[in-house]
């Protein structure tokens, strides 16, 4: 099966997410399996002010771009095709944001 990264963008700080949203995140593996996919990994990120950006060798504290939504986490999923990956991604709970689905390269075939 192909692998996809599902990036979670959110406008709500992690500590302000309602408990039911966190419960839905915990249910993602089960819900993905119902669609014939699999959650390979899921990770939440520290807040943007903990990041360091590097552009042309220059270090900058915090995120490089000013945005209303921040990258809050990522799921790596396996799905038989893009349509299935998108169906799984639509299950991803966000309050005021969205998700982005990106196919991952399989370096074993390169």
How many domains, the chain?
A: 1
User: Do 79 and 2 form a contact (C-beta atoms < 8 A)?
Assistant: yes
Q: Does residue 11 contact residue 69 with C-beta atoms inside 8 Å?
A: yes
Report whether 93 contacts 1 (CB < 8 A): no
pLDDT at 96: 87
State residue 42's pLDDT score: 93
Residue 53 in domain = no
Predicted TM-score (pTM) of this structure: 0.83
CATH number for the domain including 91? 3.30.70.1060
Write down the pLDDT at residue 26.
92
Could you report the per-residue pLDDT of 17-34, keeping only the tens digit for each?
A: 899 998 999 999 999 999
Give the model's pLDDT for residue 62.
62
Q: What are the tens digits of pLDDT across the range 86-104?
A: 999 999 998 888 999 999 9
Q: 41-83 pLDDT, tens per residue?
A: 999 888 877 888 777 887 776 655 556 778 889 999 999 999 9
Position 109 in a domain: no
């Amino acid at each position: 099966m192909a692998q996809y990264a599902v990036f979670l963008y959110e406008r709500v700080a992690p500590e302000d997410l309602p408990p039911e949203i966190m419960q839905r995140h915990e249910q993602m593996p089960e819900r993905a399996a119902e669609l014939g996919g699999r959650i390979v990994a899921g990770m939440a990120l520290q807040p943007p002010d903990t990041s360091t950006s590097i552009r042309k060798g220059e270090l900058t504290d915090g995120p490089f771009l000013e945005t209303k939504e921040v990258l809050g986490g990522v799921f790596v999923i396996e799905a038989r095709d893009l349509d299935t990956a998108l169906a799984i991604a639509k299950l991803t709970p966000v309050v005021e944001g969205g998700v982005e689905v990106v196919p991952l390269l399989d370096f074993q075939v390169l």
